[in-house]
Amino acid sequence: MQRCSIALLFFLLVLQGSSQQTQKPRLVVGIVVDQMRWDYLYRYQHRFAEDGGFKRLLQNGFNCSNSMIPYTPSYTANGHASIYTGTVPSVHGITGNNWFDLKRWQYIYCTDDSAASTIGSTTTAGKMSPVNMLSNTICDELKTATNNQAKVIGIALKDRGGILPAGHKANAAYWYDSKTGNFITSSYYMPTLPGWVQQFNEQKLIDSFYKQGWDTYYPIETYTQSTADENTYEVKTFGKGFPYILSSLAGKNYNLVMATPHGNSLTTQFSMSAVANEQLGADSITDFLAISYSSTDYAGHTFGPNAVEMEDMFIRLDLELAELLNYLDQQVGKDEYLLFLSADHGAAHNPAFMKDQRIPAGNMLPSVVVEDLNKWLQQKFDVADLVIDFINYQVILNMPLIEQKRKLSVSVVANAVVQYLLKQEAVQHAFVLADVKQAVLPGGIRQAITNGYYKNRSGHIQVVGKPQYIEGFEKGGTTHGLWNPYDTHVPLLWYGWHIAPGVSYREMYITDIAPTLAALLGIQQPKGYTGTVIQEIVTK
HEC string of 166-217 equals: HCCCCCEEEEEECCCCEEEEECCCCCCCCHHHHHHHHCCHHHHHHHHCECCC
How distant, in Å, are the alpha carbons of 164, 196, 224, 292, 383 from that of 188?
13, 19, 47, 20, 45
The answer to whether residue 13 sits within a structural domain is no
Same domain, 494 and 444: no
The answer to whether residue 8 sits within a structural domain is no
402 and 386 in contact (C-beta within 8 Å)?
yes
pLDDT in the model for residue 540 = 65
Q: What is the pLDDT along the chain (540 residues), one digit of tens a residue?
A: 444 454 444 444 444 443 444 489 999 999 999 999 999 999 999 999 999 999 999 999 999 999 999 999 999 999 999 999 999 999 999 999 999 999 999 999 999 999 999 999 999 999 999 999 999 999 999 999 999 999 999 999 999 999 999 999 999 999 999 999 999 999 999 999 999 999 999 999 999 999 999 999 999 999 999 999 988 999 988 888 899 999 999 999 999 999 999 999 999 999 999 999 999 999 999 999 999 999 999 999 999 999 999 999 999 999 999 999 999 999 999 999 999 999 999 999 999 999 999 999 999 999 999 999 999 999 999 999 999 999 999 999 999 999 998 789 999 999 999 999 999 999 999 999 999 989 999 989 999 999 999 999 999 999 999 999 999 998 899 999 999 999 999 999 999 999 999 999 999 999 999 999 999 999 999 999 999 999 999 986
Phi, psi of 343 (to 5 degrees): -140, 155
What are the residue numbers of the active site?
76
The answer to whether residue 5 sits within a structural domain is no
140 and 188 in contact (C-beta within 8 Å)?
no
Q: What is the pTM of this model?
A: 0.94
The answer to whether residue 7 sits within a structural domain is no
pLDDT in the model for residue 405 = 85
Cα(522)–Cα(516) distance, integer angstroms: 10
- What's the CATH number where 442 sits? 3.30.1360.150
pLDDT in the model for residue 539 = 83
Same domain, 332 and 249: yes
Cα(400)–Cα(388) distance, integer angstroms: 11
Same domain, 69 and 31: yes
Same domain, 402 and 265: no
Same domain, 333 and 370: no
- What's the CATH number where 191 sits? 3.40.720.10
pLDDT in the model for residue 238 = 87
Same domain, 416 and 510: no
Among residues 416, 433, 467, the one where a domain terminates is 467
Nearest Cα neighbor of 294 from 150, 183, 172, 151 is 183
The answer to whether residue 145 sits within a structural domain is yes
Among residues 467, 500, 521, the one where a domain terminates is 467
pLDDT in the model for residue 474 = 86
Same domain, 328 and 412: no
Same domain, 336 and 367: no
| Domain encompassing residue 268 | 25-354+484-538
